[in-house]
Amino acid sequence: MLHRFANPTRFLRIATLVQPWMAWSTILLAGAGLYLGLLSSPADYQQGESVRIMYVHVPAAWMAMFCYTGMAVSAGVGLIWKHPLADIAAKATAPVGACFTFLALFTGALWGKPMWGTWWVWDARLTSMLVLLFLYLGYIALANAFDDPSRGTRASSILVLVGFVNVPIIKFSVDWWNTLHQPASVIKMDGPSIDASMLWPLLLMAVAFNTYYLWVLLIRIRAEIVANKIRILRLKQVHG
């Protein structure tokens, strides 16, 4: 049993060191990014003030995809090399990724109201994001559907890999479907050229979202390791 937890113990030591750094970088970067984005950057000539939603929306959408990729990689590592930490990381990432996805959808709807006149349009990006949210929710549901937690971990690891293969296919299908039903009339949120005054806050926010993710991930992994230890103690009580 010990060899399995040798690594998490070392991980816990490193995590305690790194975590405050992540917390402070998140606060500073997000503070600077929000200041630049919401107050000091210019409004868009076409979209007006509502362009500022982009500074939250775009990083959230990036993180939504980044988290799913991260989950797939961790799940793969967990399945192949049976690394307990990888399984925990995948499980800990899922709710964070789902929240990012929801945030991207929510801000997308907020942005859509002034731009399109409705809260929701079946735009290709939004639709793909919605499907991604369902994939996250399916993963979370499966991971918690078993009385034996290790069963949930293995089953959901296979699911996330299957989902990962499917994400590009779903994206492609939705794009096709969208062009069939809606001629490209919507304004793209991130145009090809973006002014430096807008790029800087966007990049700052993207990095801030990343450090925020790492910060929360570390907290969640630590909590999960502690929960595992408690479960083992309970089992010892029962089985001696």
Partner 1 sequence: MSGFMSILKRDLHLAIRQGMDNMMVVMFFVLAVVLFPFGVGPEPNILARIAAGVIWVAALLASMLSLERLFQTDYEDGSLELLTLSPIALEVIVLAKITAHWLTTGLPLIVAAPLLAVLLNMNTEGFPMLILALVLGTPSLSLIGAVGAALILGSRRGGVLLALLILPLYIPVLIFGVSAVDAVIGGFESKAQLLILSAFLMGALPLCPWAAAAGVRQAIE
Partner 2 sequence: MSVFSGKNLICVRGERTVFAGLDFSLEAGGALVLIGHNGSGKSSLLRLMSGLLKPASGTLSWDGEETGEDPEAHGGRLHYVGHHDAVKPVLSVVENVSFWASLRNGGAAANEAARAALDAFGIGHLCDVPGRFLSAGQKRRVNLARILAAPAPLWLLDEPTTALDRQTIAALEATIARHRTGGGMVVISTHSDMELDAFQVLDLADYTVRQTGLEQAS
Rule CB under 8 A: which residues touch partner 2?
1, 148, 150, 228, 231-232, 235, 239
Of 37 and 78, the one with the shorter C-beta distance to partner 1 is: 78
CB of 75 to partner 1, least distance (A): 12
- In the list partner 1, partner 2, none, the entry touching 235 (Cβ below 5 to 8 angstroms by class) is partner 2
Q: Any contact of residue 86 with partner 1 (CB under 8 A)?
A: no
State the Cα–Cα distance between residues 25 and 187, nearest whole angstrom: 33
Of 39-47, 174-182, 183-191, 221-229: span binding partner 1 (CB under 8 A): 174-182
HSE-up of residue 10 (Cα within 13 Å, Cβ side): 7
Residue of the chain from 32, 73, 137, 186 that contacts partner 1 (CB under 8 A)? 137
Residue of the chain from 2, 180, 196, 238 that contacts partner 1 (CB under 8 A)? 180
Residue 132's nearest CA partner among 181, 67, 86 is: 67
- Cα 149 to chain centroid distance, Å, stands at 22
H or E segment to which residue 128 belongs: helix 124-143
> Which residues have CB under 8 Å from 194's CB, separation 6+?
202
Assigned token pair, 190: 């991130």
Is the CB of residue 202 less than 8 Å from the CB of residue 194? yes
Contacts to partner 1 by CB under 8 A: 131, 134-135, 137-138, 141-142, 145-147, 151-152, 154-156, 158-159, 161-163, 165-166, 169-170, 172-174, 176-177, 180
